[in-house]
Amino acid sequence: MNLGPHADFIVAAYAMTAFAVAALIAWVVLDYAAQRRILGDLEERGVTRRSQHKG
């Protein structure tokens, strides 16, 4: 594949897009893991939400 005389611009556009999308996905995945971990810790300590309260 020949990208011609402006190959640097094309490669930079694809690399920058890949980086931005990868950063967004990484943030989403790490945030999910963090929320699950905190919820697990709270449940282990017996903390419940109001809707789960009995009596």
Q: Decide if residue 21 touches another protein (CB under 8 A).
A: yes
Whole-number minimum distance, CB 19 to another protein, in Å? 10
Inter-residue contact 14 to 7 (CB < 8 Å): no
Q: Going by C-beta distance under 8 Å and a sequence separation of 6 or more, which residues neighbour residue 11? A: 3
The region that residue 46 occupies, defined by phi over 0 for left and psi between -120 and 50 for alpha, beta otherwise, is: left
Q: Least CB distance from residue 14 to another protein, whole Å?
A: 7
Site for another protein, rule CB under 8 A: 1-7, 9-10, 12-14, 16-17, 20-21, 24-25, 27-28, 31-32, 35-36, 38-39, 42, 45, 47-50, 53
